[in-house]
């Protein structure tokens, strides 16, 4: 039997002693205390041959202690250890795209289990995109009646400039009711995990425009929910009525999701339609803007005031830094580590999500032998080598890097098994970066991972096998 202690993410400090505590029910028999003089985020575990004590600075830290302790329990008993641990980053997140392919509620709950296992604390749900709208909105029922469904989906890989497509002939869709989402939020909260909803705007809105053509720039030419991947030119118009529409949607979203952060996207919004639209040009002139692209900042400011009125904080993709976004917006740096640097220097709090390291829709091995993926190459070791804080920041700027997040975009992941395959074990390596585990040689991490992978299987989650 292996004697290896395989805790993932590894604790900051672990000192091993001689022997084991053997108990028929170690989880039940361990002593637990929340201790006022420990910092809020810190916990300690002390195991002797006579028993175990978990002490923590808060209920949340005690949850972390429970996860670590459960991973200490092995076939020989519980090894004698002293552990002192606390996370490096406040935001330890994962984003799941449930728009490109709808994922059942039960699977989202299993993902929350996996986040808990990895002592992560944020689930970002990408709820809307060109290819599907996944959240019930009472004021606008067609968002889900129409926007949650596409008659068919392109087959294979989208290439740049492609105009001819083959389709699968299969209707795809689904959405979460408000009750579903409240259940997800409550389940996450019990496990110390905050759910961050994303309503991606003003681009990536084709499904909403399909449901309500008056939101688009060419309402006389109605469009359907998008059936191909890539970036759509169909973006929201900038009329006052559309601002009102979005504000109503957001008020309902705030009512479902009580957490402090609300994500309003902001990525990949082409301004071509605004350049061609008389109404958008008139709005641009009225606002004294010199370029149509600046309408994005104006639009986001109009709709995000709903968040501020309710004491919530705006989160956006790094394109938002280039628009005139509120200074207290949290920026997710996805186009590269340098984007995180720019955002931190501009005074924003930043979550590092650079695609080259933490986009888990990229290949993990030779594309010849892997299921179809979007491209690029991010094998497990590259994730394990990820440095969260970009070089080139002063200490004060580096303190604005509040955390990191891995992304699962699901264009090429049609079901839960495929998501599990792409997500794990890369998320296990990522969790060590988010937590700030001491870096060990990669083969040592792999040895721990061998013991860790069955924990994912026990949760009902698929993973890619180790090579």
Catalytic residue list: 129, 204, 268
The binding site for ligand ACM (CB under 6 A) comprises 267-268, 317, 334
Using alpha carbons, select from 93, 91, 100 the residue that is nearest to residue 419: 100
Which of 331, 449 has the CB closer to ligand ACM? 331
Query: Least separation, in Å, of the C-beta of 296 and ligand ACM?
Result: 14
CA angle 203, 298, 310 (to 5 degrees): 90
Angle between helices 426-435 and 416-423 (to 10 degrees): 50
Query: Least separation, in Å, of the C-beta of 101 and ligand ACM?
Result: 16
Quote the tokens at residue 197. Answer: 């909803």
Query: Least separation, in Å, of the C-beta of 229 and ligand ACM?
Result: 12
Which of 54, 269 has the CB closer to ligand ACM? 269
With residue 31 as reference, give the H or E element that holds it: strand 31-34
Asked if residue 456 lies in contact with residue 424, where contact means CB atoms within 8 angstroms, the answer is yes
Which of 66, 200 has the CB closer to ligand ACM? 200
Which of 257, 334 has the CB closer to ligand ACM? 334
* SS3 label, residue 247: helix
CA-CA distance, 455 to 425, in Å (whole number)? 11
Asked if residue 252 lies in contact with residue 138, where contact means CB atoms within 8 angstroms, the answer is yes
Using alpha carbons, select from 269, 281, 209 the residue that is nearest to residue 233: 269
CA-CA distance, 323 to 281, in Å (whole number)? 18
Query: Least separation, in Å, of the C-beta of 268 and ligand ACM?
Result: 5
The DSSP output letter for 74 is B
CA-CA distance, 188 to 121, in Å (whole number)? 9
Which of 26, 265 has the CB closer to ligand ACM? 265
Residue 52 has φ and ψ, to the nearest 5°, of -135, 145
Number of Cα atoms under 13 Å in the Cβ half of residue 295:
29
Using alpha carbons, select from 408, 406, 399, 409 the residue that is nearest to residue 350: 399
Which of 46, 267 has the CB closer to ligand ACM? 267
Which of 268, 415 has the CB closer to ligand ACM? 268
* SS3 label, residue 51: strand
Query: Least separation, in Å, of the C-beta of 204 and ligand ACM?
Result: 8
Which of 63, 226 has the CB closer to ligand ACM? 226
Asked if residue 176 lies in contact with residue 134, where contact means CB atoms within 8 angstroms, the answer is yes
* SS3 label, residue 281: helix
CA-CA distance, 93 to 96, in Å (whole number)? 10
CA-CA distance, 281 to 291, in Å (whole number)? 9
Q: What is the DSSP string of 320-348?
A: GGGTT--TT-EEEE-S-HHHHHHHHHTT-
Asked if residue 223 lies in contact with residue 147, where contact means CB atoms within 8 angstroms, the answer is no
Which of 41, 267 has the CB closer to ligand ACM? 267
Whose CB is nearest to ligand ACM?
A: 267
Beta bridge mates, 45:
54, 83
Query: Least separation, in Å, of the C-beta of 411 and ligand ACM?
Result: 11
CA-CA distance, 55 to 30, in Å (whole number)? 10
* SS3 label, residue 42: coil
Query: Least separation, in Å, of the C-beta of 267 and ligand ACM?
Result: 4
Query: Least separation, in Å, of the C-beta of 333 and ligand ACM?
Result: 10
Query: Least separation, in Å, of the C-beta of 22 and ligand ACM?
Result: 50
């Amino acid at each position: 039997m292996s004697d290896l202690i395989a805790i993932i993410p590894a604790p900051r400090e672990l000192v091993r002693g001689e022997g084991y505590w053997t108990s028929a029910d170690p989880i039940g028999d361990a002593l637990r205390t929340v201790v006022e003089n420990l910092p809020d985020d810190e916990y300690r575990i002390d195991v002797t041959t006579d028993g175990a004590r978990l002490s923590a600075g808060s209920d949340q830290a005690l949850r972390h202690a429970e996860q670590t302790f459960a991973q200490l329990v092995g076939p020989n008993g519980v090894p004698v250890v002293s552990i002192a641990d606390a996370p490096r980053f406040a935001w330890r997140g994962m984003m799941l795209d449930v728009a490109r392919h709808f994922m059942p509620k039960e699977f989202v709950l299993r993902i929350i289990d996996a986040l808990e296992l990895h002592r992560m604390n944020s689930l970002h749900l990408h709820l809307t995109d060109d290819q599907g709208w996944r959240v019930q909105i009472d004021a606008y029922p067609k968002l889900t009646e129409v926007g949650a469904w596409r008659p068919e989906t392109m087959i294979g890989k989208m290439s740049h400039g492609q105009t001819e497509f083959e389709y699968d002939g299969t209707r795809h869709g689904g959405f979460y009711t408000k009750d579903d989402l409240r259940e997800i939020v409550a389940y996450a909260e019990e496990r110390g995990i905050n759910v961050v909803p994303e309503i991606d705007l003003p681009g990536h809105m084709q499904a909403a425009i399909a449901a309500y053509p008056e939101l688009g720039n060419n309402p006389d030419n109605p469009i359907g929910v998008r059936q191909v991947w890539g970036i759509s030119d169909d973006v929201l118009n900038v009329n006052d009525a559309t601002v009102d529409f979005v504000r109503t949607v957001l008020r309902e979203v705030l009512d479902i999701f009580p957490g402090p952060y609300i994500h309003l996207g902001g990525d990949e919004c082409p301004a071509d339609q605004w350049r061609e639209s008389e109404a958008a040009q008139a709005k641009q002139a009225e606002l004294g803007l010199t370029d149509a692209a600046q309408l994005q900042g104006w639009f986001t400011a109009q709709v995000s005031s709903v968040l501020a009125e309710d004491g919530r904080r705006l989160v956006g993709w790094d394109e938002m830094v280039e628009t005139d976004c509120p200074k207290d917006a949290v920026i997710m740096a996805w186009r590269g580590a340098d984007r995180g640097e720019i955002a931190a220097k501009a005074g924003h709090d930043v979550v590092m999500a650079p695609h080259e390291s933490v986009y888990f829709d990229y290949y993990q091995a030779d594309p010849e032998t892997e299921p179809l993926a979007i491209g690029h190459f991010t094998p497990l070791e590259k994730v394990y080598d990820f440095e969260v804080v970009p070089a080139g920041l002063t200490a004060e700027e580096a303190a604005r890097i509040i955390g990191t997040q891995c992304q699962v975009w699901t264009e090429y992941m049609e079901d839960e098994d495929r998501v599990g395959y792409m997500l794990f074990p890369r998320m296990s390596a990522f969790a060590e970066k988010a937590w700030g585990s001491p870096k060990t040689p990669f083969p040592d991490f792999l040895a721990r991972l061998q013991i860790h992978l069955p924990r994912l299987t026990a949760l009902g989650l698929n993973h890619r096998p180790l090579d």
